[in-house]
Structure 1
Amino acid sequence: MKTAHGLAGSSRRRLTRVTSASSEDRFLSPMLAPRFALDTKTLRGADLHLDIAGLTARSAQRKRRDALWASIVESGCSIAARLPPHCRLALPLDSVETPPDVLILHLATSLIATKLDASRLELEFGENTLASENDALFYALAALRDLGVGLVFAGLGAGVTSLTLLRDRAFTGLLSALKLDRQILLRPHTVAEAEPPLIRAIVRFGADFGLTTRADGVDSPETLAFLTDVGCAEGRGAALGHAETVPCFLSTHGFGDNAHDEG
């Protein structure tokens, strides 16, 4: 398995580009939405929410041409380093059409700078990204997987081709988790009558392929009970807890606002 140190190599000069957690936090106003195991209601991780407008402005102000994903990766690594080891942080990379080669290098560099193990991170890709049929996508996902990063198919159920795409990508063995889109849980009652069998099928499919299934939009006790009953492993939403700033998240869950050093 490749290590972050091996991938970074001559790119150590990029370390100066990774900002500190405190300056990153002040600019981006990151929020963490807690993610719980639905059967035990224990904290499993968090989903990163960022001020996308602020990120875009920050990228535009830089002399170098950084994509949005670069700021998300930098901020995500510095924040994940402050969380306890069992708490995996999911980073939203829905806007990335195809993971570029430099994403892997940039991630490896950020991991070194923050002394963070890659297994502490998960990258969420949407349907638009995973639908690509080029070799670059598969090589990039394989490299990220080998680095130890979790790969999540996010927004599942929102697009018309999601189920076919899920089948195709599950067979590649590159995914580690599935994330049900909140819209599949929040549709009007007349439409939602058909959703329970679909959700059951997705959860069962994920289990058959050894994938963790999680849900976004667990906003009511009824939704929580249903998802728990069908075997959905993790979820986030109003019925479980609200998104908070990083210091508040650490305080709420009894971790204290201290960085967790990887060594």
Structure 2
Amino acid sequence: MKTAHGLTGSSRRRLTRLTSASSEDRFLSPMLAPRFALDTKTLSGADLHLDIAGLTARSARRKRRDALWASIVESGCSIAARLPPHCRLALPLDSVETPPDDLILHLATSLTATKLDASRLELEFGENTLASENDTLFYALAALHDLGVGLVFAGLGAGVTSLTLLRDRAFTGLLSALKLDRQILLRLHTVAEAEPPLIRAIVRFGADFGLTTRADGVDCPETLAFLTDIGCAEGRGAALGRAETVSRFLSTHGFGDKAHDEG
């Protein structure tokens, strides 16, 4: 990976912006939702929450289709560098449908600026993105995978998901994790006969393909117990811990500012 001194002029200007402004000031009060290993109830990572509507409006003002992606990646790297090494940060890239052609450059620039190892980041993609038959996208995902970035198929259960798509993306080795949407967990308590077998099947599918399965919306003890029992690896929700500002998250989990120095 290039050093900061080897970057192009535009990349150097972006690096300067990253290091001269507070991520929390520039990105509309980002929040971190803690993610726990369900078997041990220990912190395994966090999910980044951003004001996507605000960032989208900012992208429109800039008239740049990739501005939203760039903002999420830059903000995520800056925040991840403040977390301890074992705490992986997931970035919500499922909110935009098409990645920019220079996604790898955005990421490489941000990793260099923050001295962050790529393995401490995870990128969440929605079905609309992963269903694309764009070769450029596949090459980008493969390159991210080779860098060590985790790739998460997010939103499972929020709508109609193609099992063929899920199988194909998992079989080609582009994915590292599956994420159950909170909607399917909400239905767990209203369509009791149908949802548990489906959730079990998704967790089993992930295990068979060597993928980590995580759940969003673990909001009550019953849901937590059910997911733990069927072998879901990770989860986040009210039953585990609520989203907090970055500074409060670090304080709550006993990291303080020391984690930033380690990053």
Task: Please indicate, yes or no, whether the TM-score normalized by the shorter chain is above 0.5.
Answer: yes
| Cα shift at 1:122 | 0.2
Q: Which whole-Å deviations, capped at 9, do the CAs of 1:185-214 have from their partners, x for residues lacking one?
A: 002745342111111111111111110000
Q: In 2 relative to 1, CA 220–62 (structure 1 residues): closer, same or farther, beyond 3 Å?
A: same
Rate the CA distance shift 1:215–1:65 in 2: closer, same or farther, 3 A. Answer: closer
Coordinate RMSD, CA, aligned: 2.6
Q: Is the 8 A contact 2:125 2:151 kept in 1?
A: yes
Q: Once superposed, which parts of structure 1, at least 4 consecutive aligned residues long, lie more than 6 Å away? A: 1-10
Greater mean deviation of Cα atoms: 38-47 or 64-73: 64-73
Displacement of 1:96: 2.9
CA distance in structure 2 between the partners assigned to 1:248 and 1:84 by the alignment:
15
Query: Greater CA deviation, 116-125 or 192-201?
Result: 192-201
> Contact (CA 8 Å) 1:31, 1:50: kept in 2 or not?
yes
1:44–1:88: 8 Å Cα contact kept in structure 2? yes
- After superposition, what is the alpha-carbon deviation per residue over 1:6-25, rounded to whole angstroms, capped at 9, x for unaligned? 99899445322425462544
Equivalent pairs: percent with the same residue? 94
Moved more, 210-219 or 5-14: 5-14
Bigger mean CA offset, 104-113 vs 16-25:
16-25
Task: Please state whether the residue corresponding to 2:190 is helix, strand or coil.
Answer: helix
Aligned CA distance change for structure 1 residues 98 and 125 (closer, same or farther; 3 Å): same
Unpaired runs of 5+ residues, structure 1, are: none
Give yes or no for contact 1:98–1:136 (8 Å, CA) kept in 2.
Answer: no
Deviation (angstroms), 1:98: 3.0
Q: Per the alignment, do residues 174 and 161 of structure 1 end up closer, same or farther by CA in structure 2, a change over 3 Å counting? A: same
1:207–1:27: structure 2 CA closer, same or farther, 3 Å change rule? closer
Deviation at 1:52, TM superposition (A): 1.8
Deviation, 1:162, is 3.8
Deviation (angstroms), 1:58: 3.4
1:225-263 Cα distance to aligned partner (Å, 9 max, x none): 000000000000000000000011000000003453467
Whether the 8 Å CA contact 1:185–1:192 is kept in 2: the answer is no
Going from structure 1 to structure 2, the CA distance change for 1:8 and 1:130 (only over 3 Å counts) comes to farther
Greater Cα offset, 99-108 or 178-187: 99-108
Distance 1:144 1:66, change over 3 A: same
After superposition, what is the alpha-carbon deviation per residue over 1:33-53, rounded to whole angstroms, capped at 9, x for unaligned? 000000000000000001123
Per-residue CA deviation, residues 86-122 of structure 1 (Å, 9 max, x unaligned), is 0000000013323232111101000000111111100
Q: 1:184 to 1:4 in 2, by over 3 A?
A: farther
Q: Answer whether contact 1:151 1:174 (CA < 8 A) is retained.
A: yes
Output the CA distance in 2 between the equivalents of 1:5 and 1:45. 31
Contact 2:182 2:215 in 1 (8 A): yes
Distance 1:93 1:65, change over 3 A: closer
- Say if 1:238 and 1:182 are closer, same or farther in 2 by CA, change over 3 A: same
Q: Give the conservation status (yes or no) of the 8 Å contact 2:214–2:235.
A: yes
How many residues are paired up? Answer: 263
Residues 178 and 9 of structure 1: is their aligned pair in 2 closer, same or farther, counting only changes over 3 Å?
Answer: farther
TM (norm. structure 2) is: 0.90
Could you tell me whether the CA contact under 8 Å between 1:82 and 1:257 is conserved in 2? yes
The C-alpha deviation readout for 1:106-158, integer Å capped at 9, x for no partner, is 01000000111111100000011111122122111101111111000000122
